[in-house]
């Protein structure tokens, strides 16, 4: 007769507690890793930019860092690699494109806070000045559906706490829900990164996409010389449908103003020089969609804000000839290179030399 010895209840409880403790530690470790070192495991767009940035800084120790924040207009239009080529000059700055698809003022503020939290504090920054966000940002920032949970980092929560306290607890809940079991929440991103053969093409696409799209300095070049006429008209029609109504804004939303000022105050606190607010190029047809009073309001606002904080506002909306755009406001590769070189030579270098820019500043 075979006798089975039952485990002592204390041993069973101890085993369960050890397993539970190990599980909680692995989840906490994963969350800390994402927040501080590996954001690509949750948000590939931001995370792979951080990977590129750290790699660039490691290869160029001691060089000043200039981060360029903005939306996809900056993402496609600011060819940071074009003006960071001179590695032989240890004093030449590293320009890095730290844009985000759909990144309005609150996105720029959140990315700046992330850089500081991760110890990647820039020496200088350039902020995008896109005119319609002066009104629309205050509305979209309060929308509960404006951002996916996997794109929220812990350092972002303070932005909602300060500027949208009524939805702060919703954002905190999103972050907690996503990060309570991060190994599960981020499973598709992790498998897509390390074991893509186990997923179908659609599931692993995001991780692969951002690794392929980003240049060494964060730029996303559009690799075509000219858009076929039919494709351009379709893209322009989509741009018109998405944005034309927002180009007739009538007022500055107070939340947008508070966010911009928060950005500037944060830079002052950390001794980060703000090079300029930059209005990106747009095709003539898109510039004509603006209500003249709206454009005047925006130019006046950015001029006054820049003057108050001792920086500059550069309106480069007419710097690129028609034909250099994908859809009226996203620059193609070669026009982006020429635009960025012009910005470097006629704006950045004169500012560094202490020269005034009366022809560029409204």
Angle (CA) 55 69 278, round 5°: 135
Integer Cα distance of 112 and 191 in angstroms:
29
Q: Per the structure block, which two tokens stand in for 114?
A: 């992330």
Q: Give the torsion sign (CA, 182, 188, 192, 197).
A: positive
The set of residues, in sequence order, having a beta carbon less than 8 Å from that of 280 and lying 6+ positions away, is 70, 73, 74, 77, 78, 128, 130, 316, 317, 329, 331
Element (H, E) at 57: helix 44-59
Residues in the chain: 362
Q: Where are the domains of the chain?
A: 39-352
Position 358 scores a pLDDT of: 59
Residue holding tokens 């995001």?
A: 206
Q: Per residue in 128-186, pLDDT tens?
A: 999 999 999 988 888 888 898 999 999 999 999 999 999 999 999 999 999 988 888 88
Integer Cα distance of 77 and 334 in angstroms:
10
Q: Per the structure block, which two tokens stand in for 98?
A: 């730290």
Q: Per residue in 207-218, pLDDT tens?
A: 778 888 899 999
Which residues of the chain, if any, have pLDDT below 50? 1, 359-362
Mark out the alpha helices in 60-202 (DSSP H runs). Answer: 72-77, 105-117, 133-140, 157-163, 168-179, 182-185, 187-194
Integer Cα distance of 198 and 73 in angstroms:
34
- Which is it for strands 313-315 and 124-128: parallel, antiparallel or unpaired? unpaired
């Amino acid at each position: 007769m075979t006798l089975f010895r039952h485990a002592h209840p204390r041993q069973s409880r101890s085993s369960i507690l050890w397993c539970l403790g190990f599980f909680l530690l692995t989840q906490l470790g994963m969350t800390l890793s994402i927040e501080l070192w590996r954001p690509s495991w949750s948000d590939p767009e931001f995370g792979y930019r951080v990977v590129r940035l750290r790699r660039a800084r490691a290869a160029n120790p001691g060089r000043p860092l200039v981060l360029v924040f903005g939306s996809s207009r900056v993402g496609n239009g600011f060819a940071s690699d074009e003006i960071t080529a001179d590695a032989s000059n240890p004093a030449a700055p590293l320009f890095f494109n730290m844009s985000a698809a759909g990144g309005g003022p609150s996105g720029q503020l959140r990315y700046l806070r992330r850089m500081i939290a991760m110890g990647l504090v820039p020496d200088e920054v350039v902020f995008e000045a896109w005119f319609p966000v002066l009104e629309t940002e205050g509305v979209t920032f309060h929308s509960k559906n404006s951002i996916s949970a996997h794109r929220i980092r812990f350092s972002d929560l303070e932005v909602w706490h300060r500027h949208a306290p009524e939805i702060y607890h919703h954002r905190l809940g999103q972050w907690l829900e996503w990060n309570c079991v991060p190994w599960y929440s981020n499973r598709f991103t992790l498998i897509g990164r390390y074991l893509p053969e186990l997923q179908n093409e659609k599931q692993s696409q995001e991780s692969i996409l951002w690794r392929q799209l980003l240049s060494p300095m964060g730029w996303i070049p559009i690799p075509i010389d000219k858009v076929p006429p039919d494709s351009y008209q379709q893209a322009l029609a989509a741009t018109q449908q998405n944005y034309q109504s927002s180009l007739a804004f009538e007022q500055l939303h107070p939340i947008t103003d508070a966010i911009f000022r928060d950005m500037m105050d944060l830079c002052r606190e950390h001794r980060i020089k703000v090079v300029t607010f930059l209005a990106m190029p747009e095709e003539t047809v898109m510039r004509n969609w603006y209500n003249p009073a709206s454009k005047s309001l925006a130019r006046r606002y950015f001029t006054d804000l820049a003057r108050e904080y001792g920086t500059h506002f550069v309106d480069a909306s007419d710097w690129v000839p028609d034909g250099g755009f994908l859809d009226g406001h996203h620059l193609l590769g070669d026009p982006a290179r020429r635009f960025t070189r012009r910005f470097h030579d006629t704006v950045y270098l004169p500012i560094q030399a202490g020269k005034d820019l009366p022809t560029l500043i409204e």
